[in-house]
Amino acid sequence: MSAPHPSFEGSFLGDAARIADTTRLECKICWYVYDPGKGCEAWQIPPGTPFSQLPSHWRCPNCDAEKTGFMALAEPSAQVVPDCTERAGASTIAPEPADQALRNRARTLTRAFEAAFKELHAGKMREVPLLNKALYVQAIGFQPYESKILGVLLTPWFMNLVIIPDASFDAAKPGTKELINFPSGNYEFIWAARPETGPYMACSLFSPVHELTNQLMAVEVAQAVLIAIFDPENRVEGAKTAEIRAARDQEIAASNAAEAPGDGHSALDAIPSRRAILTGRLEPAELKP
């Protein structure tokens, strides 16, 4: 089984010849659907404009994701399977393809995680001092990963990389630690479970999240993480904690200096590099002999 392509090949990486004029495409970050028949009011794109003819600088009007972050949607069809039930006067609808079923599950889990943690935010976490009030709960980039779902969960008090196993998987007891291998290294996840989401594994990226100054910056960081963990060039064997933390502190100091008022820089200029994300906050757990 292969890992998801870091550029979401469903958009065919911008190859217009492979995208039909009527094809609808869906953002893999927020699930916004671009429908050529409707166009895009936010960008003043008229109805009847194919996805392939959108301006090169066009981005998702909902979450600002790039065009390569869109997946082509299979159009629904009432395909009938010719079997004995059809001959008896009935009909059987073809089963949903496995990849489409996983995508639908990812969408359902996006809503489930957001609902569960919004409720937690409004309740038990409401008066907790460590909250970053510039952020809100968002499930980012939930997508099929092998037979599981992979994504990032952002809240005002943490950002976690999340893996949700399929329903048939024998989940471990909450609190159990497990090393998961990605091309960039081995990362320590902790099993958890909530009634609304079922069992899942979480790897802490930021906790607390005061370094993320706004929601857009946080989403950009999460998207970069979901790409960088599949990049072998980011691989770090072992846990070189002192060197990693020192290098990251220098990067943060430089980023903070760039954010000073009146210097002409935006908040996005302070986003850590992918390597800083992977080696600073997604530090691979040291493998035991």
Closest by alpha carbon to 66, among 75, 56, 74, 76? 56
H runs (alpha helix) in the chain: 84-87, 98-122, 215-228, 241-258, 274-276
Closest by alpha carbon to 103, among 155, 61, 144, 148? 144
Q: Give Cα 163 distance to the centre of its chain.
A: 11
What is the Cα–Cα distance from 171 to 193, expressed in whole angstroms? 9
pLDDT digits (tens, 9 = 90+) for 124-183: 888 888 899 999 999 999 988 888 999 999 999 999 999 999 877 788 889 999 999 888
pLDDT score of 116: 92
Closest by alpha carbon to 143, among 271, 285, 6, 283? 6
SS (H, E, C) 95-148: CCCHHHHHHHHHHHHHHHHHHHHHHHHHCCCCCCCCCCCCCCCEEEEEEEECCE
Cβ proximity of 277 and 228 under 8 Å: yes
Closest by alpha carbon to 12, among 54, 60, 52, 59? 52
pLDDT score of 126: 82
Cβ proximity of 196 and 115 under 8 Å: yes
Q: Which residue has the higher pLDDT, 267 or 177?
A: 177
What is the Cα–Cα distance from 153 to 216, expressed in whole angstroms? 14
**Does domain 99-281 match CATH 3.40.50.1860?**
no
Cβ proximity of 99 and 146 under 8 Å: no
pLDDT score of 61: 86
What is the Cα–Cα distance from 157 to 206, expressed in whole angstroms? 8
User: What backbone phi and psi angles, to 5 degrees, belong to 230?
Assistant: -100, 10
CATH code, residues 1-95:
2.20.28.10
pLDDT score of 83: 39
Residue whose entry in the numeric block shows the structure tokens 């906790």:
207
Residue 263 has pLDDT above 80, yes or no: no
Name the band, by pLDDT with cuts 50, 70 and 90, for residue 276: low
Cβ proximity of 189 and 203 under 8 Å: yes
Residues 6 or more apart from 76 whose CB is under 8 A from it?
none
Residue 245 has pLDDT above 80, yes or no: no
What is the Cα–Cα distance from 174 to 30, expressed in whole angstroms? 28
What is the Cα–Cα distance from 241 to 33, expressed in whole angstroms? 42
Structure tokens at 137: 């709960």
pLDDT score of 119: 92
pLDDT score of 138: 93
Fold agreement (1-95, 99-281): no
Residue 73 has pLDDT above 60, yes or no: yes
pLDDT digits (tens, 9 = 90+) for 60-71: 888 788 887 788
**What value does the mean pLDDT of the chain take?**
74
Other C-beta atoms lying within 10 Å of the C-beta of residue 51 = 25
Where are the domains positioned within the chain? 1-95, 99-281
pTM: 0.58
What is the Cα–Cα distance from 102 to 107, expressed in whole angstroms? 9
Provide mean pLDDT across the span 251-257: 58
